[in-house]
Structure 1
Amino acid sequence: MLINFTNHPSKNWSKEQISAGMKYGNIHDLPFPTVDPGQDENYICELAQVYTDEIITLKPRAVLCQGEFSLAFAVVKKLKEQGIIVLSATSQRVAVEEKNKDGTVNKTAYFKFVNFRKYGG
């Protein structure tokens, strides 16, 4: 199983990303929590332990972990210590510009999934 521990539900993933995720088994969404920016490192450590414990009980083959940086870092570290594969999604930014009649330009950015990359170390 691949646990999708992000704010991006797998139902909204591209076919390519779903296919890449299915290499680890079924995809299980576990929403990344909102992190109170006013809290300290102890709060992050406690929250990381709660989510790490929950993830471990699901016995994943791999975990896609992306979200608020300090919590994501703490969870990645704890999961790797347990021998669990932890991934990030890589993407290519594609920008499309459209010139309006009044001379202004609208710019829209799209992110195209490329692959999953293991956290190093």
Structure 2
Amino acid sequence: MSENIFINFSNHPSNRWSNEQKKAALNYGEIIDIPFPSVDSNGDESYIKETGNKMIERIMSYHPKAVLCQGEFTLAYYIISALMRNEIIVLAACSNRNVKEDGNKKIVEFNFVRFRSYIA
């Protein structure tokens, strides 16, 4: 059975989130950050499976209610699929992307809107 735990499995620490994003996450439970690992571009499918299994074990040790999973696509897909098979809510953060030009610089700002569940 899932506890009231929200796992932030990304490279965006929750202490840098907007108040709106923190509030939305807290609806699922206490926020725990687990950094998404760097993925070796030379790694094959067995490397993804091995890395994924280690991360799945770590995430599941918290008995989460929900997991925000954002990172390298093949590893994320493997982990998302496994979490969903274990009936864990898996989420993506949905944001509005605002681009401003400042002379020769482009400033990109992301404003959190909501979490969206992955569906199968």
User: Which residue matches 1:113?
Assistant: 112
Deviations 1:9-28 (A, max 9, x none): 00000001000000001100
Identity percentage of aligned residues: 47
SS of corresponding position for 2:75 = helix
Instruction: Give the CA RMSD over aligned residues.
Output: 0.9
Higher mean alpha-carbon deviation, 71-80 vs 107-116, is at 107-116
Structural mapping, 1:1-121, within 5 Å: 1-99=5-103, 105-121=104-120
* Structure 1 segments unaligned to the other structure (5+ residues): 100-104
- In 2, Cα distance between the equivalents of 1:33 and 1:119? 20
Structure number with bigger Rg:
1
1:106: Cα distance to partner? 2.9
* Structure 2 segments unaligned to the other structure (5+ residues): none
Amino acid at match of 1:8: H
Amino acid at match of 1:117: R
Aligned residues: 116
TM-score by length of 2: 0.93
